[in-house]
Amino acid sequence: MKKFFIALTVLFLFVFCACAFGAEEAKLKTTDQLKTERLAAQRGTVGQFIAEDLLGDNKSLLLTTYEKYTDAVAALRQGKVRAIVMDEMPARRFLNEVDGLAIMENALSEENYAIGFRKGNKELVEAVNKALAEIKADGTLDKIFEKYYTTFLTGDASSIKPEDIDFNKGAKGGTLVVGTEAGFAPYELKVGTGFIGIDVEMCAAIAKKLDRELVIENMNFDALPMAVSTNKVDMICAGITVTEERKENMDFSENYVVGAKQVALVRADDYEK
């Protein structure tokens, strides 16, 4: 019986200690303050690179990288980190669906998204660029953006069903295998056994132009460059920002999103405008 009570006491002490941490900190006001704060980012994203630049020498101490955005958001809400550096649209989707979050007013940078290819895969890059230009010109792409921005950023996203997206099944030109990380709404999201999202519908439209069947491979974001360079997938499309560093290891299509902001997602009660 004695042992039982000792074990219980130790457990309770442990819980008490875990709950007791949480000293008051001054509220965040400007993005300059982030230079000395605990930040989070998804591993391998541009958000991570920006956070590293912001923190400088402190990055090993203050930056936590997570495999999934949901983990980062949980860490933010629990106060393990004070801000997540991430793309604006997914941040706004979190804002729409999770209580108690805010986005800091000044953006940290502006980026362009493009589709990534294995270095030297010129044939496919040209074909995709042509298809991309066509869907840009006939308004298909704008319609896709419109559809997702209205549902994910302001309304209820469950109206979009994966079955409604035409993957061009049984096309004569073979398959077009696209690698993505389906936890990045509104760009890509796994719903049931299917996928939805701006990138998914855009790739479906491109696949149709190329007369190929779209196949989605859902991977971790930091595994995507590896997958495309080893030819596991034909191209990767996951809201991927074009950077000089990435250009050295892969080829990019024309941009399909220009001026996507990188923002700091914070807790609403921790932020003073």
Partner 1 sequence: MKNNLTRHDGAGRGNLVLGIFALFLLYLLYSSGFFTAAAWQDFNRRFYQNFIKDRRYMMLVDGLKATLFMTSGATLIGLVVGLILSVIRVAYKGGAPIPVLNAMANAYITVLRGTPAMVQLLIWNFTIFASARNLNTQYIAILAFGLNSGAYIAEIFRGGIEAVDPGQMEAARSLGLSYGTSMKLIILPQALRTVIPMLFNEFIALLKETSVAGYIGIDDLTRAGQNIQALTLEHSQPLVMVAIIYLVIVLFLTHVVRKLEEWLSRGRRG
Residue 168 near residue 212 (C-beta atoms within 8 A): yes
Does 133 bind partner 1 (CB under 8 A)? Our answer is no
Does 71 bind partner 1 (CB under 8 A)? Our answer is yes
Does 70 bind partner 1 (CB under 8 A)? Our answer is yes
Which helix (H) or strand (E) element contains residue 69? helix 69-77
Residue 153 near residue 94 (C-beta atoms within 8 A): no
Q: Which residues contact 11 (CB under 8 A, 6 or more apart)?
A: none
Contact residue for partner 1 among 24, 193, 244, 248 (CB under 8 A): 193
- The SS3 of residue 154 is coil
Residue with Cβ nearer partner 1 (258 or 268):
268
Q: How far is the CB of 230 from partner 1 (least distance, A)?
A: 4
Build a one-symbol-per-residue string for 210-239: x at contacts with partner 1 by CB under 8 A, - elsewhere.
-------xxxx--x--xx--xxx-------
**Chain CA centroid to CA 71, Å:** 12
Contact residue for partner 1 among 125, 178, 182, 265 (CB under 8 A): 182
Contact residue for partner 1 among 89, 141, 189, 238 (CB under 8 A): 189
- β-bridge mates for residue 261, sequence order: 110
Does 21 bind partner 1 (CB under 8 A)? Our answer is no
Number of residues engaging partner 1 in binding (CB under 8 A): 40
Does 185 bind partner 1 (CB under 8 A)? Our answer is yes
Residue 264 near residue 31 (C-beta atoms within 8 A): yes
Residue 256: φ, ψ to 5° = -110, -15
Report how far residue 246's alpha carbon sits from residue 252's, in angstroms, rounded to the nearest whole number.
9
Residue with Cβ nearer partner 1 (66 or 141):
66
Q: Token pair of 163, please?
A: 């079955």
Residue 42 near residue 69 (C-beta atoms within 8 A): yes
Does 190 bind partner 1 (CB under 8 A)? Our answer is yes
Applying CB under 8 A, which residues contact partner 1?
1, 3-4, 7-8, 11-12, 15, 19, 68-71, 73-74, 94, 97-98, 158, 177, 179, 182-185, 189-193, 217-220, 223, 226-227, 230-232
